Amino acid sequence: MNSPPYTVYYFEAFGGRAEAAHLTLAAAGVSFEKKGKDELPSAAFQCPALRDNSTGLVLAQTTVIAKFLGRRLGFDVAGGDEEIIAMKIADDIADIWKEGYSLRKQLDMARCLEWLDCMPDGSRNRGRFVRLLSVINESRSVGGLNGKGQTFLTGSEVKYVDFLLLNAIRTMEHCYGVEKVAQCLSQESCGNLKDVVENVKGLDKVKAYLETSPPVLYESISAAKLFGNAARSRSISPPKPPLQTAASISKRHSKGFVDKAVASRVDMSAPPGHTSVKKRSTINVGALHTGSIHDFNKEQRKTEQVENAWGAMFAGGGKK
């Protein structure tokens, strides 16, 4: 029995970074074999890796594999500037995959919220997902690909970059949820990227593959896990005023700005390093001085703010 034309080496339980290669091969109607990373022919290669069984050529790196298969299977972008722009878009898509996946693995809900924010305020990390999507859309326009109204990223025909985009978006949907990703894709600066993704999904052979394909990533970082934690925040009471550090309270007191509501949340009886928050008792603000108060537990403060943020988002139907 003859071997399939190509072999893809990756984790067999999920698609991950190899999924773009799977999608490209499926769209071309080309059979391929999946093998685990332990079966790689050489330790010099990293997953995902692709072997051309007709020549023995082995390639690694997601975008290199995508470009190679695109050229072999008729999904490459024409030469000249358009080809360079397509390569740039492929790198931008890789940034989305890398940032979104790495962030989700850290289990830091505060940073996840920042990264997904649809209304960035100019800070470095806030709204990075929408910014990266916007860069892709802008590259299409500046590069002469005129993305508005186009069926796919580079025109009316599906190309290898479209499969890279679909994989990145499906990965983000797995990590953060379909609704939240759709909200980000719907921003004006993203053009018609949302439609492009749906058009790629709608290709007959791609659709058939997705119906039987394994999960794009493992369950422990799924949106269900993230939203399961967030759902508990729905019963949380309305957000309290931000917790204050000892230094800021003393500074405000010296200027006559400390109010009793804020002061009532400082527990002066706790030992150094264990300052807690009091719900009802009050303290003598006039007795405060910088050296006698310790900073609040930072992790406690961050957790409270994040839970309140998630609660507000769910209370608003998923909109911030």
Average pLDDT over residues 46-75: 95
The full set of domain ranges for the chain reads 6-71, 77-233, 246-315
Q: 5-19, 157-171, 194-208: lowest mean pLDDT where?
A: 5-19
Are the beta carbons of 82 and 144 closer than 8 angstroms?
yes
Task: With CA atoms as reference, report the closest residue to 54 among 10, 22, 6, 8.
Answer: 6
Mean pLDDT, the chain, whole residue set: 76
Average pLDDT over residues 247-261: 43
Angle at 239 between CA 257 and CA 266, to 5 degrees: 45
Q: What is the pLDDT of residues 70-112, one digit of tens each?
A: 999 999 998 888 899 999 999 999 999 999 999 898 888 888 8
Tokens of 53: 């069984």
Considering the segment(s) 77-233 as one domain, its CATH architecture is Up-down Bundle (1.20)
Q: What is the pLDDT of residues 153-162, one digit of tens each?
A: 998 999 999 9
**Angle of helix 193-201 versus helix 204-212 axis, rounded to 10:** 80
Cα separation, 182 vs 171, whole angstroms: 13
- DSSP 3-state assignment of 266? strand
Half-sphere exposure of residue 297, counting CA atoms within 13 Å on the CB side?
12
The partner residues of 155 in beta bridges, in order of sequence, read 152
Give Cα 281 distance to the centre of its chain.
42
Task: With CA atoms as reference, report the closest residue to 118 among 132, 103, 99, 102.
Answer: 132
Average pLDDT over residues 271-296: 37
Average pLDDT over residues 11-37: 94
Cα separation, 148 vs 137, whole angstroms: 9
Q: What is the pLDDT of residues 286-303, one digit of tens each?
A: 333 333 333 334 444 444
Cα separation, 185 vs 133, whole angstroms: 7
pLDDT: which is higher, 240 or 197: 197
Task: Name residue 214's amino acid.
Answer: P
Cα separation, 294 vs 287, whole angstroms: 14
**Which superfamily, per CATH, for 6-71?**
Glutaredoxin (3.40.30.10)
pLDDT: which is higher, 302 or 236: 302
Look at residue 30 and tell me whether its pLDDT is greater than 90. yes
pLDDT > 90: percent of the chain: 47
Cα separation, 65 vs 167, whole angstroms: 14
pLDDT for 120 equals 60
Look at residue 47 and tell me whether its pLDDT is greater than 60. yes
Checking DSSP bridges between strand 32-35 and strand 49-52, what pairing results, if any? unpaired
